[in-house]
Amino acid sequence: MASTPLVEIEHLNVRFGSKTAVADLSLRVHAGEVYGLLGPNGAGKTTTLRTLAGLIEPTAGRVLVAGLKPLQNRTAVLRRLGMVMANTPLPESMTGREALRYYGGFYDLADLEGRIALLEADLDMPYLDEPIADYSTGMRQRLNIARALLHEPSVLVLDEATNGLDVTSRRAVLRFVAEQRARGAAIIYSTHILAEAEEVCDRVGILDQGRLVAEGTVPELLERAGARNLELAYLRLAEAAAPTPTQEVHP
């Protein structure tokens, strides 16, 4: 793509003591693109995503969100970034509408009530005036999505956003991803459900032990692995990149 990427990660390294969580990771995500970040637990996905919000300081390398360094420009970055995580805590004593008003107060929006009404309709949330304590998992996740979209971010991060959702709620999340791509957002979609990634992602990066071991469009990865679906391609590419017992992996 010719456009300037909205997410740039260059030679990112993150270490916690002697443990290397992310090793020399480089990737870019452009406007109107869904980038799937795949890998097993402990591969470095969540660590990478947290660096985008300035929650983790890189040991080495560079991270930019809309051209800004998260640690040095955290407020400006958070105005451009929306994050949807699985099982994000919500204020149980509030209604959904009260919670969105609370979160919206951080962004000084010109028409917060209008924005909430739009999201209420778009995400099919007729329950916004009910207590969050009574919400199902799917209702909570739709509210989390609305929270992330209040300020119309140019970069969206979804980390296991469909965890624990029923089929109807999962389809709603995938529809939402497609709509945000059409709006021109740059989206990072991290999931263990590879059929979802195959459906919604334009490009995919596979992480293993903190390293990017394969990257490409879904058709490119299927062809490279000689596989009929992304799940098989993922297994074959990760296995091909795994060190043999005689090899040593250095950070």
pLDDT per position as a tens digit, 148-207: 999 999 999 999 888 878 888 888 889 889 999 999 999 999 988 899 999 999 999 999
Q: How confident is the model at residue 80 (pLDDT cuts 50, 70, 90)?
A: very high
Is the pLDDT score of 251 beyond 60? no
Percent of the chain with pLDDT over 70: 95
Query: How is residue 75 written in tokens?
Result: 């407020």
Percent of the chain with pLDDT over 90: 78
Residues 20/210, Cβ–Cβ less than 8 Å: yes
**Per-domain boundaries in the chain:** 7-241
Among all chains, which residue has been given the structure tokens 């991803």? 177
Measured CA to CA, the distance from residue 36 to residue 197 in angstroms comes to 6
Say what the pLDDT of residue 88 is: 86
Per-residue pLDDT of 127-136, as tens digits, reads 999 999 999 9
Higher pLDDT, 17 or 168: 17
Taken in order 196, 20, 89, 80, the sign of the CA dihedral is negative
Measured CA to CA, the distance from residue 229 to residue 121 in angstroms comes to 35
Taken in order 206, 220, 222, 218, the sign of the CA dihedral is positive
Other beta carbons less than 10 A from residue 196's beta carbon: 19
Kindly report which listed range (40-44, 110-114, 216-220) carries the lowest average pLDDT score: 40-44
> Quick one: average pLDDT of 53-80?
95
Measured CA to CA, the distance from residue 230 to residue 235 in angstroms comes to 9
Strands 33-38, 186-190: pairing kind: parallel
> Quick one: average pLDDT of 82-96?
91
Say what the pLDDT of residue 247 is: 47
Check: pTM over 0.85? Answer yes or no: yes
Is the pLDDT score of 2 beyond 80? no
Other beta carbons less than 10 A from residue 93's beta carbon: 10
Measured CA to CA, the distance from residue 105 to residue 72 in angstroms comes to 23
What 3-state class would DSSP assign to 92?
A: coil
Tell me which architecture the domain covering 7-241 has in CATH.
3-Layer(aba) Sandwich (3.40)
Measured CA to CA, the distance from residue 54 to residue 47 in angstroms comes to 11
